[in-house]
Amino acid sequence: MKFLILPFSFLAVFWLILSGHYTTLLLVLGAVSCIWVLRISHRMKIVDLEDYPIHLVPWRIIYYWFWLIKEIMLSTWTVSKIILTPKSRISPKVVWLPADEMSDMQKVIYANSITLTPGTLTIEADNSRLEIHTLRGDMLEPLERGDMADRVRKLEY
């Protein structure tokens, strides 16, 4: 039942935001297309926890986003300095970082967060590790301390 109400409200809100016209005709058309999309996606059996991650703790993920934006700003500053300094030393490195005790969803969040912060890039993953490419060795320090990994581990109930 929650996989009917949740996708429907999500689609409805999305329609309402993008449309901006609230006449009867368009609202009915919107409701019809939401129901139609729901029907198709249920027939394709693609509606599950991966699409609607309700097992993530909402306030923690919102806090995590703000923390991530702060981290992105900090490393943007570092990478900008590297780019703008003439003759700056860059020494790219590739290392494997542990990503154990994480569900698939958490691994995706972790890998995407690493890629989002400039200076570090996830290029490969296996069951319990991620392969990270970095612009300069010292940009890995915050990741090696495991601060971000710990925060990601706490995201699920």
Whichever of 1 and 23 has its CB closer to another protein, that residue is: 23
- Summarize as ranges the residues that interact with another protein (CB under 8 A): 14, 17-18, 20, 69, 72-73, 76, 79-80, 83-84, 87, 89-94, 111-112, 115-124, 133, 135
Q: Which residues pair with 130 in a beta bridge?
A: 97, 125
Residue type present at position 14:
F
Whichever of 33 and 112 has its CB closer to another protein, that residue is: 112
d(CA 127, CA 121): 18
Whichever of 43 and 89 has its CB closer to another protein, that residue is: 89
Q: Which residues pair with 125 in a beta bridge?
A: 130
Q: Which residues pair with 89 in a beta bridge?
A: none
Inter-residue contact 61 to 108 (CB < 8 Å):
no
d(CA 64, CA 68): 6
Q: Residue 43 Cβ, how far from another protein at the closest point, in Å?
A: 25
Q: Residue 74 Cβ, how far from another protein at the closest point, in Å?
A: 10
Q: Residue 61 Cβ, how far from another protein at the closest point, in Å?
A: 12
Whichever of 42 and 50 has its CB closer to another protein, that residue is: 50
The structure tokens 């923390």 sit at 67
137: left (phi over 0), alpha (psi -120 to 50) or beta: alpha
Q: Residue 27 Cβ, how far from another protein at the closest point, in Å?
A: 15
